[in-house]
Amino acid sequence: MHSHDFVIQTRALSKRYGRKLALDHLDLAIPRGRIHAIVGANGAGKSTLFRILMGFMPPTSGEARILGRDSQSLTPADRARIGFVNEEHTLASWMRVSQVTAMQRHQYPRWNQQAFDNVIGHYHVLPEQKVGQLSRGERAGFNLALALAQGPELLVLDEPTLGLDVVAKRAFLESLLYSNAADDCTVVYCSHQMEEIERVADNLIILERGQLTHMSAPEDFTARVSHWVADVPFKGPDPRTVPGLLEMQRLDGLHHYLVLDQDDGFEHFLRACGARNAQSMPVSLDRAVNAFLAKHHAAPAAA
Amino acid sequence: MIDLFKGELLRFRLWALVAAAIHLAALGFLSRMVDLAQQPLQVYQVFAAVYAVAGALLGLYQMGSYRKPNQWLSLLHRPLHRLRIAAGLAGASGLVLLCAVAVPILVVAAWQDALTARVVDLRHWLLPLAGWLIAVSGYLAGAYAMVGDRRYSFAGFLLPNLFMYSQASGVAMLAVQGVAIVFLAVLLAIAFKPDPTATPRHPLALAAVALPVQVGAYFLAWMLGYGVELGWTVTGTHPLNAPVPPKGGTIEADRADGKDLLLLGLAGSRDPQAALWREQVALSDVHTRYPLRHLPTWNTLTNPAPLEFGDDVNNTLLVFSHDRARFVLRGLLDNRPRGELGVGAMQAPFPAPTLPYGATYLFNAQAAYQYETEQQRFFERIRLPAGEVMASPPEPAGDNILVLSDRAAYFYPGREAMNGLDLLTPLLRLPMPGPVGQLGRMDAIELLDGYLVSFTYTWGVWGGELQQPYQQVVHVDAAGKVHDVARRPIHIDLPAAYSNRNFWLSPVIRALCLGARDLFAADDPLAATPERVPDSVLWLAAACGLLSLLGALWLTARQSHAPRARWAWVLLCGVVGLPALASLWLLYPRRERLPVPAAQPAQAAA
């Protein structure tokens, strides 16, 4: 693939804050089109990555390109091609909805009024309302409408539903999914909400400690993680010997294992460890990702 | 840009209107009480400080609200050049300040001009502009402080402080304010980018950012010197706090009463009459004069003191008008205009802005006048020779009148002064032995055959501008013959390293600060040129330069610099000294080092 086939490309991208590495020689290439979800625990480097990609922070080393441009030398025209929605939905609270809309319409040459109307139609937002008077959900929807109406080639959504209630989250996702404008651009969706990821994402990107640890379709990822329930008398095998172990629990006398990249051979392993019975079950994306991320979560040395 | 400009106007329009209303109410109330056009300098300084603080608060608040990471990203991530975004925000704030600061002053000036008999000159019409420029400079300093890297961006606040020390006046002062605003706008433009903490790469931009940081470091180090004084005070060794000042020092000379000082001056004299004069000093009245440091100049925006005085006999207030070069009269009881008064019967214009002193006397740079209430006329009583300016207005010294110019002391006949209104001719002229800008005081006693006069040159020792203070005692006889009686060197009570710290900390920054102080200023005949510092201080400055150079070598090795930039910094630190080293440390973070890269997990695949 050529470099212009990727909306985001990083090579050995690193960022260091004092003694801590926020991004650790990250190599990431996100292809054009579709919705890509980036997930990671807090501190995985998502926000740092976005700030570097938008040109608001220099990398310590490495290279970051967005829409084929060096992220540190984006022009105003480049910025017109990139929409960005953050979790705070920062908009001028003192202005009316109509005034903010008029300002954006004037600034963005590829303004798509129909896209704006389509999205804002999901919300009960009046033009004469001040932005500061909108509910958090309405502000999120208004922000999404503005971003999509800009006609971006790449839309970055950085935890856009953070702090929204269930109804507002659903409205936000529906307005995104049913917008034709979203079909015309690549969407990078950063979230901790796995049910949202499961619903919208075509591609799942997992960042851990500043490194790329997984990238595939969500269903491919869930296929890598399997849940085994085994009836093992006594203690069961030493966790350190369990291959691909992500999570282990003992409930009602049964051992539950979440394991990565294990096929039917894992059943033989369990039986070899004394399991009288072993059974595999499918895993939800939420559980699979949580177990995957929790495996490398920092813990006290004594734990 | 225009959208952001309108948006910010919308944001602050109510604030602007409320501030303008409060400002107008305050000015209106004060105008009912006093004539705001005729206030002493300190009043204008208070107003200027309020405008600057208001502007700074606006800048800090406005940019502070955008400076959080997400807000900053939302603001700058749009298809507009960053400078157009900055111009939209700053332009709106400039208009807000115009409304809140300049318009109320303009309204009050217009009211005073149209509906009262008070004097409103061209210089007063410039006050709204000056107030606005001060507020804008405060705003830009506040905006830059908030947008830029907070390790050093607060140094921008030094620029509005220049107005306190600037020697320029009138339109020249507006030009100084304009220069400060342009400089601050450049600083804001440099910092107003997606990553405001990034050190600029262009050498000129870097120089612009580094300059206030270096001046700030210089002032901070200079101010720390007062900590040394505090230490001396605590340990009881400060000469200023000693019950008896050190013998033969400047503190003793400044504090001594006239008799003691004359006796100190005569102590080493070999003049045959010295013993007789010592006796006469003990029996005589000593007339002490302290020279003026500033004179009012044409079209200055402020007044060193109110240019007005009252004629209680005729119930008239006389106010000097710069535009008319005459005094404008108005009734004290009815506030109605009562015409103008110039000099003499011809109502000639005054040659310079004229200050009242005493009950009916006035003076300006070139002459002194007496106001005669019965005739309601100004009489010129004393005129200095061409090329000389007034350093101390006429006052009695024994039977005669003593006047100081910047070059000489003049004695005029007291009896003629009291009994007539004619122009006086000096009896005696006594040339000054040194520049008036270094003269701390002059003390004189009247003798039977003239005057014994002491000139004490101590002005400027605290700032290192005078290095060799001394006292000179001179005798002038009745015929005007002058001869030196004694010259006594006076030592400086504080160590040279302390009083000259403004030099050795950085001779370059000191020269720059003096240049900024005198920017666009007319030559001041009452000021003296700073003297050359002692060799020991020069060596100290060189040692600091060397120390700074070595420090820069060490520091730049731990920062990220291109080779040429690194050596430029090392050289700059050697030339400028410790303030440049401080700026180098503040401007550049320590180099970020990466550990050896770890292998990416095998599962990660595109």
- The answer to whether residue B421 sits within a structural domain is no
Q: Is A86 within 8 Å of chain B by CB? A: yes
Work out the angle at residue B150's Cα, subtended by the Cα atoms of residues B146 and B153, and round it to the nearest 5 degrees.
Answer: 75
| Mean of pLDDT values over B20-35 | 96
Q: Is A21 within 8 Å of chain B by CB? A: yes
pLDDT of residue A300: 53
* Whether B9 and B133 share a structural domain: yes
| Structural tokens at position B388 | 């000389």
Q: What percent of chain B has pLDDT over 90?
A: 88
The answer to whether the Cβ–Cβ distance between B7 and A216 falls below 8 Å is no
Q: What is the pLDDT of residues B225-261, one digit of tens each?
A: 889 989 999 998 888 888 889 999 999 999 999 999 9
Q: What percent of chain B has pLDDT over 70?
A: 98
Distance from CA of B592 to the nearest CA of A (A): 7
Reply yes or no on whether the pLDDT at B13 is more than 70.
yes
pLDDT by 10s per residue, chain A, length 303 = 565 689 999 999 999 888 788 898 999 999 998 899 998 888 788 889 999 999 999 999 999 999 999 999 999 999 999 999 988 888 989 999 999 999 999 999 999 998 899 888 888 899 999 999 999 889 999 999 999 899 899 999 998 888 888 888 888 888 888 777 777 789 999 888 888 888 888 999 989 888 898 898 988 888 888 888 888 877 778 878 888 888 888 888 788 888 888 888 888 888 888 888 888 888 888 888 888 887 765 555 443
The answer to whether the Cβ–Cβ distance between B194 and A58 falls below 8 Å is no
Choose, out of A94, A128, A259, A295, the residue to mutate when testing the contact with B (most B CBs < 10 Å). A94
| Mean of pLDDT values over B392-405 | 93
Size of interface A-B (CB pairs under 8 A): 102
| Mean of pLDDT values over B111-125 | 95
- The answer to whether residue B393 sits within a structural domain is no
pLDDT of residue B43: 95
Dist CA A172 CA A176 (whole Å): 6
Dist CA B68 CA A159 (whole Å): 17
Choosing among 1.10.3470, 3.30.70, 3.30.40, 3.40.50, the CATH entry for A225-295 is 3.30.70
* Whether B171 and B39 share a structural domain: yes
Domain boundaries, given as residue ranges, for chain A:
3-216, 225-295
* Matching residue, tokens 């720390």: B224
pLDDT of residue A301: 47
pLDDT of residue B589: 84
Could you list the beta-strand ranges (E) of chain A.
6-17, 20-31, 35-39, 61-66, 69-70, 82-85, 154-158, 186-190, 203-208, 211-216, 225-231, 245-251, 254-260, 277-281
* Whether B224 and B327 share a structural domain: no
ipTM field: 0.87
Residues of A in contact with B86 (CB under 8 A): none
How far apart, in Å, do the first and last CA atoms of chain B sit? 41
* Whether B85 and B170 share a structural domain: yes
Q: Is A34 within 8 Å of chain B by CB? A: no
Q: What is the pLDDT of residues B440-470, one digit of tens each?
A: 999 999 998 899 999 999 999 999 999 999 9
| Structural tokens at position A296 | 């490398």
The answer to whether the Cβ–Cβ distance between B601 and A60 falls below 8 Å is no
| Mean of pLDDT values over B520-527 | 93
Reply yes or no on whether the pLDDT at B603 is more than 50.
no
* Whether B175 and B228 share a structural domain: no
pLDDT of residue B442: 97
* Whether B582 and B513 share a structural domain: yes
* Whether B377 and B513 share a structural domain: no
Q: Is A216 within 8 Å of chain B by CB? A: yes
Q: What is the pLDDT of residues B267-314, one digit of tens each?
A: 989 999 999 999 999 999 999 999 999 998 999 999 888 999 999 999
CB B545 within 8 A of CB B311: no
* Whether B79 and B168 share a structural domain: yes
Reply yes or no on whether the pLDDT at B475 is more than 50.
yes
Across all residues in chain B, what is the average pLDDT? 93
Q: Is A87 within 8 Å of chain B by CB? A: yes
* Whether B228 and B324 share a structural domain: no
Residues of B in contact with A27 (CB under 8 A): 600, 604
- The answer to whether residue B146 sits within a structural domain is yes
pLDDT band at B135; cut points 50, 70, 90: very high
Of B79, B598, B600, the CB nearest to A77: B79
Reply yes or no on whether the pLDDT at B605 is more than 70.
no
Of A86, A95, A109, the CB nearest to B7: A95
Total domains, chain B: 3
pLDDT of residue A257: 87
The answer to whether the Cβ–Cβ distance between B605 and A216 falls below 8 Å is yes
Q: Is A203 within 8 Å of chain B by CB? A: no
pLDDT of residue A1: 54
Q: Is A40 within 8 Å of chain B by CB? A: no
In sequence order, what are the residues at sequence separation of 6 or more whose Cβ sits closer than 8 angstroms to the Cβ of residue A83?
A147, A148, A150, A152, A154, A155, A156, A185
- The answer to whether residue B457 sits within a structural domain is no
* Whether B39 and B183 share a structural domain: yes
Name which residue leads in pLDDT, A285 or B213: B213
Of A12, A91, A94, the CB nearest to B10: A94
Residues of B in contact with A99 (CB under 8 A): 7, 10
Residues of B in contact with A51 (CB under 8 A): 69, 73
| Residue B155 belongs to domain spanning | 2-198
Q: DSSP per residue over B14-72, as a string? A: HHHHHHHHHHHHHHHHHHHHS-GGG-BHHHHHHHHHHHHHHHHHHHHHHHHHH-SHHHH
The answer to whether the Cβ–Cβ distance between B70 and A90 falls below 8 Å is yes
Reply yes or no on whether the pLDDT at B525 is more than 70.
yes
pLDDT of residue A302: 42
Span A3-216 CATH architecture: 3-Layer(aba) Sandwich (3.40)
pLDDT of residue A166: 84
Of the listed ranges A213-217, B213-217, B375-379, the one predicted with least confidence: A213-217
Q: What is the pLDDT of residues B64-113, one digit of tens each?
A: 999 998 999 999 999 999 999 999 999 999 999 999 999 999 999 999 99
The answer to whether the Cβ–Cβ distance between A54 and B77 falls below 8 Å is yes
* Whether B179 and B301 share a structural domain: no
* Whether B189 and B40 share a structural domain: yes
Q: Using CA atoms of A188, A190, A196, A202 in order, give the dihedral in degrees to the nearest 10.
A: 30
- The answer to whether residue B407 sits within a structural domain is no
